[in-house]
Amino acid sequence: MGTATSGWITLVVGVLVAVALLELVRRLVTHRLARRWPTGSAELSPVVRPAFVAAVLAGVRASLRPEMLPNSLESAISHLVTLTLIAAVTWMIVEIVNAASDLYLLRLAQAGEGTRHIQRARTQIGMLRRAAGAIIVVLGFGVALFTFEAVRALGAGVMASAGVLGIVAGIAAQSTLGNLFAGLQLAFSDALRIDDVVVVDGEWGRIEELTLTYVVVTTWDERRLVMPVSYFTTTPFENWTKAGGALLGPVMIRLDWTVPVRELRSALYEWLQRQALWDRREWSLSVTNLMDNGLVELRAVVSAADSASLWDLSCDMREWLIEYVREKHPDALPRFRAEVLPADLYARSYPASAFREPVSWADREAVRDEGHRHGPHEAPPRGTGDGDGTSEG
């Protein structure tokens, strides 16, 4: 009885010592982080819970004695504590990796790095976090399996056949592995980043999430397109923010050829000077085409800092152009021209016989029957007489 009691006392002391040591380490790390990053301690909060669980289990595992447990349960309980400790340590390592990546991003933000550099870092670190988490979990699961004696006994045979199993698994998971390597390629080639503006399969949107297997694109109407990562490595797509967010946008308008282009160009520049969305980088108004129907095609080009500003500015400019032409030069609005011929010239060009209609129902029926015999696209004969357009009989 005294031996069991002393064992339990040792266990409690071991747990308390482990927790005290962990608390000391936590305070030291938090203090050092607070000196460099005032908000850095918040990034470590997810690590605290698995660390305390692992400390308690480590203290229990180190202090547990066989005489403290019944002989029938000694092995099972000891093995359960070991498995739980492995799971807690795996959880803690995953959270440490996540916290370290968050601290790195926080340091970049506080150092005043550019938005594109931070977006690239977020994309690459997000990929590495997922890959590292998957590897850590797989390793933890493997360590837990090797605590079973049956698995240890089969270890040599498993290692001997690992090459064959690897080939079989690679063939079976070819698409999954392809997406995995495609995701790493996208992240580290800087072809795609979080918050990039893209046009994919005719849909405009932003990259909301980029994982090792799929990409989530949020469209302008808040729909989500979930696409495999391999799509972006095998299919061309538009990335509007690859080299920066600034863009040029055209506005096309067709007006009558009498429109005063120079006056309209000057008025457009004055209007742009009052627009906060214009970044003062580029603008132009050009005549790009002459139409056959007496219209000219004008193209106004403006620049903006990002795609959202460019869209709003383009819509505002299109509306202003319509209002300006309608108020200042209504004669320049699109219209169609027709030429009125003199009566004698019209009569010679279009004789009345060309428009002669059957004067009786019998004639109408005859014309209709003749049209059915010749088909819908072939006109019936005008007559077989002397060419005067009248039918015989």
**pLDDT computed for residue 283 by the predictor:** 93
> Nearest-5° angle of CA 220, CA 301, CA 271?
95
Other CB atoms closer than 10 Å to residue 314's CB: what's the count? 18
pLDDT above 70 for 166: no
Among 51, 83, 192, 187, CA closest to 131: 187
**pLDDT computed for residue 5 by the predictor:** 65
**pLDDT computed for residue 277 by the predictor:** 92
CA atoms within 13 A on the CB side of 253: 26
Beta strands in the chain (DSSP E): 197-200, 203-210, 214-219, 224-228, 238-239, 247-256, 278-290, 295-304
276-312 in b/e form (b: 16+ CB < 10 A) is ebbbeeebebeeeeeeeeebbebebebbbbbbebbbe
pLDDT above 80 for 232: yes
Tens of pLDDT, residue by residue over 141-155, are 878 877 777 666 555
Tokens matching residue 288: 């790009």
Summary mean pLDDT of the chain: 75
Return the DSSP state at 336: -
Of the ranges 37-51, 252-266, 362-376, the best mean pLDDT one:
252-266
Tens of pLDDT, residue by residue over 91-105, are 888 888 888 887 777
More confident residue, 168 or 188: 188
